Amino acid sequence: MDELAITTTIGMEGIPLASREAAVARMPSMIEKQATAAVEESSAIIFLVDGQASLTAADVEIADWLRKHYSNKFVILAVNKCESPKKGIMQVSVFWTLGFSSLPISALSGPGTGELLDLVCSGLAKLEVSEDLHEEQDEDYVPAISIVGRPNVGKSSILNALVGEDRTIVSPINGTTRDAIDTEFTGPDGEKFRLIDTAGIRKRAVVASSGSTTEALSVNPAFRAIRRSDVVALVIEAMACITEQDFKIAERIEKEGKGCLIVVNKWDTIPNKNQQTAVYYEQDVRDSQSR
């Protein structure tokens, strides 16, 4: 096993601020120079939070700071003081909103520390592979964004809307998109992207009972599309909110280590909307993660 150099930083205290943007802007003044230097020089960061204290304003500010300035770093959210494995799951769920892969640990009694070391080592190995691939990529490299979700949630319609033309079949019939379809387009700033539209991902039992060989084969391209993407857009249906199958797809995205953007489609089907509807809906989606 290769040697690891580990640096410990002092505690980073949060300052109550009027807005999230102001918190991010003032974060450097809240951290000692030693801590900042340690973060900048590191390849992986263990973001340690107090599982017994729950989520704090300081945790949110530090998470925002890490995302804004160190998005290229491998960050593990270690939720400390999780002495009980059963309670640890509940303690960790509070911190999911920070957007980092989280792990319950107990620095005092030891549970989770072995898994933490494994995560650090595997993360560093992935970084080395990623850096090697980056060096091999030419200037024509185009970031890939795959669009995934259950059947008939509107994935193809979203792709067509983004590129401004009908590049994929749009139909109310489930399964009109069979293979992963790549489409390149240029954004408003002139930057090129590659969008990957995929077949709807249904439950394995449903695919098996349907007897459709074509659909069974199309699920694999969808998973491969996730693997070769930089970011994955998970499309859900507004009226259905988050379903069990959506969770399964999200778990697959996390397993592949990809960034995930949840896209709520068919928003026009929500009745009696007002200015707070989107806020309540977002909170409901976040709360559903801990159910």
Confidence of residue 264 (pLDDT cuts 50, 70, 90): very high
How confident is the prediction for the chain on average, in pLDDT? Answer: 73
pLDDT at 212: 44
pLDDT at 217: 35
Higher pLDDT, 210 or 148: 148
pLDDT higher than 70, residue 208: no
The mean pLDDT of 189-217, rounded to a whole number, is 57
What number does CATH give the domain 144-288?
3.40.50.300
Helix axes 213-227, 244-255, angle to 10 degrees: 50
In tens, the pLDDT along 137-185 reads 556 678 889 989 888 888 878 887 877 765 443 334 333 344 556 778 7
pLDDT at 171: 38
pLDDT higher than 50, residue 214: no
Q: Which CATH number fits domain 20-135: 3.40.50.300, 1.10.3720.10, 3.40.50.150, 3.30.930.10?
A: 3.40.50.300
Q: Which residues contact 231 (CB under 8 A, 6 or more apart)?
A: 143, 144, 145, 146, 258, 259, 260, 261
pLDDT at 176: 38
In tens, the pLDDT along 218-245 reads 456 778 888 888 899 999 999 988 888 8
Q: Which residues contact 44 (CB under 8 A, 6 or more apart)?
A: 73, 74, 75, 76, 120, 123, 124, 127
Q: Tell me the domain boundaries of the chain.
A: 20-135, 144-288
Confidence of residue 210 (pLDDT cuts 50, 70, 90): very low
pLDDT higher than 80, residue 196: yes
Confidence of residue 134 (pLDDT cuts 50, 70, 90): low
pLDDT at 244: 85
In tens, the pLDDT along 14-63 reads 444 445 455 555 555 555 566 677 777 777 888 889 988 888 888 888 88
Q: How many CA atoms lie within 13 A of 236 on its CB side?
A: 21
Is-same-fold flag (20-135; 144-288)?
Answer: yes
